[in-house]
Amino acid sequence: MNIWEQGIDTVLFDKDGTLIDLPSIWIPWVEDTVRYLQRMQMDISIDEAKRAVGVNLSDGGVDPKSPLAIASIQESIIIFAFLLFQKGVAWDKAIIYSGESIAYADERQNCSKDLKIVDGISNLLAEMRGRGLKLGVLTADDTDKARKQLEILQLASYFDFIIGSDLVEKGKPFPDMAYLARDVYMVNLERAAIIGDTSADIQLGKLSSLKMTIGIASYSEGKAEHLQEADYIIRSYSELLGSE
């Protein structure tokens, strides 16, 4: 697929499932969150937590339409708090325990040796940089946490800016992060593309009137029903590399 002659000067990337392999980053995170809660004597199992956020217990796959693929950290706190509430924990305490457990899992995630990049992304970013494109990250994760992870994987230097959901009033699928990129980093949305692995990424692109939306099915075994509204769908970055 040729994207190089489409009048695009900025490419916006989602992070998880687009830059970083999603199962490698979030399944250990769920496990660490539950282990913390269990140490607090909370009656919750890893399997029930995985089911709640969208992990297929039979094969370990992640549903690309699930909270684990799309939800912000604040939304995740609510999900785990609700699981605790269903176990009889008062809501105020459930929120506190959930927040503490996720903060613990976040810290563990930032020094995890399990993090992996999506195949081909380093070569694609290098090519885009070589062509003079401005590059940015729009992620449902928190900004500082996202930056640390990209630094660990030696990807941060490719990007002109990183915007997390903590910097805007409303996260994906709302267009707030794209508007912030426009207002702060001088991104011309009419000449920008977004690459993402979820329908929320594509909806953000549509709502902010980006020139192009590209969906990547990086961990869904090539299934891309959730990306049908994208202008283009790819299964790997080899479909973009070297296009003329």
Model pLDDT for residues 21-69, shown as the tens digit of each residue: 998 889 999 999 999 999 999 999 999 999 999 999 988 889 989 999 9
On whether residue 3 sits in a domain, the answer given is: no
Residue 1 lies in a domain: no
Lowest mean pLDDT among 156-160, 214-218, 237-241: 237-241
Say whether both 86 and 39 belong to one domain: yes
**N residues, the chain:** 244
Total structural domains within the chain? 2
The percentage of residues in the chain with a pLDDT greater than 70, rounded to a whole number, is 98
Are 16 and 128 contained in the same domain? Answer: yes
Q: Closest Cα to residue 213, out of 183, 178, 241, 242?
A: 178
Closest CA to 11 of 125, 152, 120: 125
pLDDT at 1: 64
The pLDDT value recorded for residue 242 is 57
Q: At what angle do helices 91-110 and 22-39 cross, to 10 degrees?
A: 130
Q: Give pLDDT, residue 244.
A: 46
Any domain includes 137: yes
Other CB atoms within 10 Å distance of the CB of residue 140: 27
Please state at what angle helix 73-86 crosses helix 91-110, rounded to 10 degrees: 130
What range does the domain containing 48 cover? 23-110
Res 4: pLDDT: 72
Distance CA 167, CA 240 (A): 30
Rounded CA separation 102/86 (Å)? 18
Whether residue 101 is found in the same domain as residue 120: no
Please report the pLDDT score of residue 188 as a whole number.
98
Domain end (from 81, 110, 139) = 110
The answer to whether residues 157 and 93 belong to one domain is no
Residue 114 pLDDT: 82
Residues 137 and 198 in one domain: yes
Are 228 and 138 in a shared domain? yes
Residues 62 and 148 in one domain: no
Residues 87 and 170 in one domain: no
Distances (CA, A) of 234 to 67, 120, 198, 221: 22, 12, 12, 12
Q: Are both 121 and 86 inside the same structural domain? A: no
Q: Is 190 a member of any domain?
A: yes
Whole-number pLDDT of residue 218? 83
Residue at a domain's end among 110, 143, 175? 110
For residue 74, name the pLDDT band (cuts at 50, 70, 90): very high
